[in-house]
Structure 1
Amino acid sequence: MTTTTAFALADPELSARLTERLGTVEARLREAVATTDLLVGATSTHLVSAGGKRLRPLLTLLTAELGDPDRSQVIDGAVVVELTHLASLYHDDVMDDAPLRRGAPAAHEVWGNSIAILTGDLLFARASQVVAHLGQPALTLQADTFVRLCMGQMHETVGPATGEDPVEHYLQVLADKTASLIATSAQFGAMLSGCSPEVVATVGRFGELIGLAFQLADDVLDLTSDGSLSGKTPGTDLREGVPTMPVLLLRARAAGPDATDEDRAAVALLDSDLSDDDRLAAAVATLGRHPVVEETRQRAVAVARAAVAELAPLPDGPVKESLVQFADALVDRAA
């Protein structure tokens, strides 16, 4: 597999260096899931072989450029965050009953829910094996991230408490379930390359906000793309009743004093039986045209700009410029 950076970098030397190192990460990922057990080998390599943009390891490699990127621990950190991400996808697809992932049948569609969940657990364990050699700070960061990933999934499953603002609840779910690992990806690169605690904290704040913007952009893509960018079948979240920002904003509008007939009709469609493919397609099209989608996109842009503002303490140069490009590229997907 030829591995390239997920977006164009203005600095060709940096781009070439990161592309080469991403190739090393790819090889190490395959080593980490390699086994002589035929069943475990097939299930563990299922998503690794499906590819992906490798945004999290790329961010690790990029922030490592702020220190000594040649330290061997940097590659290990990049492998850890991608293994953790892949593990979470196995679990997410079971929770969401998603039929496809990255254009291929989801693991639970091939081997069943139990094997898919156990494969996710195994990849989390593989990530733990790698991070165990990276020192106490990295081990603590990974453990804290794992806690947030689990909490985010639990809170998403249970939903907001009585009287809790559904939008604020959703943003906290995104922070834990998505942004936490992207923040950790940025922190690992700086930490394992020997940067100061101040730099580690700076890129962590950047990563947290970028993770939030990334998921808000995905909410837009779920309604406006063919699935090639998000890796999910369009409307999957709608069919499974998973709340997304456009849906929450629409419900708030429909319940307000200025609700229109269009708002109420759209909510009624969302609350109908979306197991029917034609009705699901109608719901996706209706919501995709609604102003709440543009409002969600604007929220993603605003959060991405806040992330870029966090980079102010970093020295000017190709690494900082590339982090800004990284932020722009994640949000531009939903343009």
Structure 2
Amino acid sequence: MTPSAPGSRIAGKLGLTDRVFAGPRSRKLLAAVEAGLKRVDHALERELRVADSLADATSRYLYEAGGKRVRPMLALLTAQLGDGATERVIDGATALEMTHLGSLYHDDVMDAADKRRGVPSAHAIWGNSIAILTGDILFSRASQIMARYGDDAIKLQADTFERLVLGQMHETVGPQEGDDPVDFYLQVLSDKTGSLIAAAAQAGVIFSNGPTEFEAPMVTFGEKAGVAFQLLDDVIDLSADPDETGKVPGTDLRAGVPTMPYLVLGQRTDAGSVALRARIDDGVARISDGADPAILDDALAELRDHEATQATLDLANAWSREAVDALTPLPDGPVREALTRFAQAVADRSS
């Protein structure tokens, strides 16, 4: 497979050039970020090569399928608060993107997802064991890159990886007695998605020798924006257009993985909502027993138009606003403007 152009990968539904880098003050910043993204892409292509022929093919599979490169973009943005896209910034962004890629291999196995980024998932081609081991290879490669830069870089990688694993573990086990399902799920999103985006935002400052007082705000910003990003992904998962998601509509719910619209639906007590929730639960149970996943088509279409899905969009916007609020300590300028637009864009990828 031939990788698509970096700019097209990132723009996608996020609308990078039109939304994050809007305005005359952003032209120079956009050029710096695009140049850095090309360097990250070259680094990914280099670092993902493995001497073993099978591992080489599987490791590059999802990279070559595309992707938005949100995390490297964010690291390159926050690096402009320091010395810019130094070699350390490029390597840090590369390592975090490889960590993200590795997590996708594992997620697709656990979620039994058939497609990722518009292509068959890795486990659908090579089986669960090879997909899991490929994710492990990417995690180890990412750690090798971070190890070049000492204990602080290794700790950033290790702490982030621990939160990714804990988030996935908690999602797998589910809320326990006494846990509020919505609050529990928001914590899962903070760990699974927010932690890695927060690490990218922080890494840009750290590896560019940026002011240390900006690190904590960038962690808060990244985590809030990451949760907003995933909440909107839960809405997009219900999209009737597979071209928008790269997956069959409702993939997560068909596999029995709760998403925020489903959880919010469970809080509603009107007869229609209760009945819809029961139909979804019944369909998931029947699919797990071997029924055709298409039996949920009508119920998921109804959920897509339900008030619970709009409530999820509202929640995504609330987390986006909190991300913007975290930028208060940053100086006024194109970086802060772009980060503000980034937080707004991840919560609204409809245009």
Q: TM-score per shorter chain, which class?
A: over 0.9
2:327 aligned residue: 311
Is the 2:36–2:85 Cα contact (8 Å) retained in structure 1?
A: no
Is the 2:254–2:293 Cα contact (8 Å) retained in structure 1?
A: no
> Distance between the aligned counterparts of 1:58 and 1:221, measured in 2?
21
1:263 aligned residue: 273
* 1:3 Cα deviation from its structure 2 partner: 1.4
* 1:225 Cα deviation from its structure 2 partner: 4.8
Which amino acid counterpart does residue 132 of structure 1 have in structure 2? A
> Distance between the aligned counterparts of 2:350 and 2:167, measured in 1?
23
Query: Quick one: which of 2, 25, 30 aligns to 2:5?
Result: 2
* 1:28 Cα deviation from its structure 2 partner: 0.5
Query: Quick one: which of 193, 213, 219 aligns to 1:204?
Result: 219
> Distance between the aligned counterparts of 1:178 and 1:260, measured in 2?
32
Q: TM-score, normalised by structure 1?
A: 0.95
Is the 2:194–2:223 Cα contact (8 Å) retained in structure 1?
A: yes
> Distance between the aligned counterparts of 2:111 and 2:304, measured in 1?
20
Tell me if 1:115 matches 2:130. yes
* Structure ranking higher on relative contact order (CA contacts 8 Å, 6+ apart): 2
2:180 aligned residue: 165
> Distance between the aligned counterparts of 2:239 and 2:311, measured in 1?
14
Q: Which structure 2 residues correspond to residues 234-313 of structure 1 after superposition, within 5 A?
A: 234-253=249-268, 259-274=269-284, 275=287, 276-313=292-329
Q: Helix, strand or coil: the match of 2:228?
A: helix
Tell me if 1:323 matches 2:339. yes
Q: Helix, strand or coil: the match of 1:272?
A: helix
Structure 1 portions without partners, runs of 5+: 254-258
2:143 aligned residue: 128
> Distance between the aligned counterparts of 2:39 and 2:86, measured in 1?
13
Greater mean deviation of Cα atoms: 47-56 or 278-287: 278-287
* 1:289 Cα deviation from its structure 2 partner: 1.1
1:144 aligned residue: 159
Structure 2 portions without partners, runs of 5+: none
Percentage of identical aligned residues: 52
Number of aligned residues: 330
Query: Quick one: which of 59, 79, 84 aligns to 1:64?
Result: 79
Q: Helix, strand or coil: the match of 1:228?
A: helix
* 1:334 Cα deviation from its structure 2 partner: 5.2
> Distance between the aligned counterparts of 1:75 and 1:123, measured in 2?
17
* 1:79 Cα deviation from its structure 2 partner: 0.1
Distance 1:225 1:194, change over 3 A: farther
Is the 1:217–1:334 Cα contact (8 Å) retained in structure 2?
A: no
* 1:46 Cα deviation from its structure 2 partner: 0.4
Query: Quick one: which of 53, 56, 59 aligns to 1:41?
Result: 56
